[in-house]
A and B are shown apart, each in its own frame.
Chain A
Amino acid sequence: MASLKDVKSKIGGVKKTKQITKAMNMVASAKLRGAQTRIERFRPYAEKFYGMLTDLAGKTDETAHPLLAARDDVKKTGIIIATSDRGLCGSFNVNIINAALKLAATKKAEGKQVAFYCVGKKARDAVSKTGYELPMQLTGQMNQFDFTLANKVGLQVIDHFLSADLDEVFLIYGQFVSLARQTPTTLQLLPIAPAESIEEKTGVTKEYIYEPEVNGLLAELLPRFIKVQIYRGLLDTSASEHAARMAAMDNATRSCDDMTAALTLLFNKTRQAAITRDLMDIVGGAEALNG
């Protein structure tokens, strides 16, 4: 049986851990709020953007731009994977990485090559162990990023796609569904799927003057569309990360409480046992004297 002193120091340790997890929970919730406001601020831009694109996409077909054209012979698949830089957020990163590796495995089984573009340290660490090609890795940036990060990734994959180095590109990120739910989501970035860009447009379509003409405008719009989608994925991942960490730390804090309760019980029992033993000794001694 553990000695009184052992139990006491263990209780102290658990209490200290609880302080840390509680603090991390609060930090994560503050950061989550930040991430959510950024999503909010991005929304008007994204909505306008989608509006313009759907409007234009209806006026053209898939031969209009190389980024729209699906390739018959897909030799190489690019996967952009976005995770957090830090752990301690439950199964959040693992879920995304598993989804990505599964996709990579199916592509490989179809005889395609796979290249990973990693954003986030956790993704890099996991992918570098598997031996897949790793043409781009951005770590230590998820904590604070702006559109330039999406720009960087976007330019790179568009370059590779246009030089026929890549034939299709997927984006895997942690979609922020709610505080309690973050699901890894796979999105086809390139070639841009027409089904996604031509959504039902409500309201009256206006006749615009275009400058340059529709195809020229599309050439400007499409690369930006890729970046907008990447940015959206990154923002979602960052919000999800903080939400996941909040949940994980909340759990940890609760476990700490449970453990403290169990240990305190153990402590009291041990103390009680020691007292009883001492009493027995005294009583035994007294009886021997009387005897």
Chain B
Amino acid sequence: MSQPLGEVEDVLSTAAAWRAAGELVAVATVTETWGSSPRPAGSQLAVTKSGRMAGSVSGGCIEGAVAEAAMKTIESGVPQLLDFGVTHERAWEVGLACGGKVKVFVEKLS
């Protein structure tokens, strides 16, 4: 079978396929950016409870923290709006070194 077009960026289709195969899946989407954040609004990261990941919401700086939040959303079903930036203590911990700020919406695929 041929790959869907634009497959590299088509995180949602990957997430939907995982969901259809019985995985518990959350999708994180960049909703706003300021400064030099590496991925534009609309960039997505899909995470499964079993630990699979596809896509990205940053240059790799906050994926770990987002995946952790995704696990909570998978458990609770409650979406979250996460705020990462240089003024945010958490961001220092996870290292958003580019100096940008991003908001990331995390939701479960039900």
A binds B: no
Interface of A toward B, CB cutoff 8 Å: none
